[in-house]
Structure 1
């Protein structure tokens, strides 16, 4: 009986330790998600400033429509999956969303865990990199992404790019997809009557602003994906914590039962011993 009591007590201690780990992971995921959402607002402001500069640079009469790209011709996909595990089916949902596109598109995949899952499905990206563990590393990663994309454009590998990432709303993931490249400058047509004074040729200035704007959009996509992954992990860890609480309640009830059985057995043993002693007299 003592051995059974020790076994149950040991199991309870193990569950409590697991619960402490899960709670720590919940706290980390929540903090990272909040930090990413704070940075999204900053990047939005930065992108808006660049967009306003581009609007000021373009005159009302200037029309620079973007050449339409035939469907599935030179298409690139910038896809954000999970960097780490314990995030449910985060990467699987994203990969399922792009299954048909992968037959003809060039894949740029972000996320170590997502890369592992993709390979098990026979998906091998043209280029991949890891997602940083903290938001300060995202601008550097965005630099690497833009270099890889520009390099692919220069060699004729791709001539358009869509980005696919997850967002998190009301406790559920949503897959977002939109075009990143080429940038349609007609969206930034200015309504100002007088153009601003410029120290650079307009074409060079627009190229520079477009590059900065593209980088800002990549950063924003990274931050959305980073926040969503941590929200998914928070959701998964919350479910795990609830399961741990249920198991802990069950084993604590079992511990009380074992203790009661032990006490009952001792009372019976004492009663039997006393009866035997009286019988001998």
Structure 2
């Protein structure tokens, strides 16, 4: 199990550079598209729904990962009451239900790296459906991040609305040519950028869960080894006491026979 977790964690780390490059490319495309001086159409206002921002939470799929599943929920617990929650990870879903936390949407965290893009697509579809009803509500991602030697920390990242400082309208030269209306082009590029952010968070969560599992299993092995050493020492001491008692009994019996003669 430890070897499988290690291999999966490594696979998750290996795809992160490509995902980040993809996100940077989408970000540069958005920056160039913004130079057309045409923004995305104003969103439909839904005042009643604006009280529920979106919260995308990447949790744990399985157990035996120490306190990792609980820590993710602990960090985001205060946001559950007011948010429309998209929760990823079967183990975290079960824990959330035990705590009585309300979930609007839930799914499993895939066990294979190749399936993470499918998870991001499903999340993007669910998010788009919610935003179509709720309007331009803010959306935040919460996901685990594992640093070798330092362990787990929880990342909060604003996903929407897109921060203009993240993709400023920069660049020189002619304005890019496009066969799409500028507003439509920008909308599509924003979807690509959000998709890349979801893929990155999913990959980080995938790697972090397996790293946490490796750390838990290593700690368990250390504990078992220590317990085994203590039991072996106790066994030797007990055996030594038994041998000493046998020797004392034999010596006492020999002295008794000598005195009888």
TM-score, length basis structure 2: 0.83
Counterpart residue number, 1:6: none
Tell whether the 8 Å contact from 1:32 to 1:227 is kept in structure 2 after alignment: yes
Residue 190 to residue 28, structure 1, CA distance change in 2 (3 Å) = same
Tell whether the 8 Å contact from 2:41 to 2:183 is kept in structure 1 after alignment: no
Instruction: Tell me, in whole angstroms, the C-alpha distance in 2 between the residues paired with 1:65 and 1:104.
Output: 27
Counterpart residue number, 1:114: 92
Counterpart residue number, 2:189: 209
2:6 counterpart of 1:30: yes
**Which deviations, in whole Å up to 9, do the C-alpha atoms of 1:146-183 show, x marking residues without a partner?**
11111111222773211011212343322111211233
Q: How far did residue 39 of structure 1 move?
A: 1.1
Secondary structure of residue in 2 paired with 1:123: coil
**Residue 99 of structure 1 is aligned with which of 57, 71, 77?**
77
Tell whether the 8 Å contact from 1:55 to 1:188 is kept in structure 2 after alignment: yes
Instruction: Tell me, in whole angstroms, the C-alpha distance in 2 between the residues paired with 1:67 and 1:33.
Output: 42
**Relative to structure 2, which stretch is displaced further, 32-41 or 187-196?**
187-196
Q: How far did residue 136 of structure 1 move?
A: 1.3
Q: What is the Cα-based RMSD across aligned positions, in Å?
A: 3.1
2:63 counterpart of 1:88: no
Secondary structure of residue in 2 paired with 1:159: coil
2:234 counterpart of 1:254: yes
Q: How far did residue 260 of structure 1 move?
A: 4.3
Q: How far did residue 264 of structure 1 move?
A: 5.7
In the alignment, structure 2 segments of 5+ residues that lack a partner are none
Secondary structure of residue in 1 paired with 2:154: strand
In the alignment, structure 1 segments of 5+ residues that lack a partner are 1-23
**Relative to structure 2, which stretch is displaced further, 134-143 or 269-278?**
269-278
Instruction: Tell me, in whole angstroms, the C-alpha distance in 1 between the residues paired with 2:41 and 2:13.
Output: 32
Tell whether the 8 Å contact from 1:77 to 1:107 is kept in structure 2 after alignment: yes
Q: How does 1:73-84 map to 2 (within 5 A)?
A: 73-84=51-62
**Which deviations, in whole Å up to 9, do the C-alpha atoms of 1:24-63 show, x marking residues without a partner?**
42x332222222122111100111122222223332x626
Q: How far did residue 129 of structure 1 move?
A: 0.4
**Residue 37 of structure 2 is aligned with which of 47, 62, 67?**
62
Instruction: Tell me, in whole angstroms, the C-alpha distance in 2 between the residues paired with 1:229 and 1:220.
Output: 14
**Relative to structure 2, which stretch is displaced further, 141-150 or 262-271?**
262-271
Instruction: Tell me, in whole angstroms, the C-alpha distance in 2 between the residues paired with 1:271 and 1:157.
Output: 93
**Residue 221 of structure 2 is aligned with which of 241, 248, 255?**
241
Q: How far did residue 230 of structure 1 move?
A: 1.9
Instruction: Tell me, in whole angstroms, the C-alpha distance in 2 between the residues paired with 1:224 and 1:134.
Output: 13
Tell whether the 8 Å contact from 1:74 to 1:157 is kept in structure 2 after alignment: no
2:154 counterpart of 1:175: yes
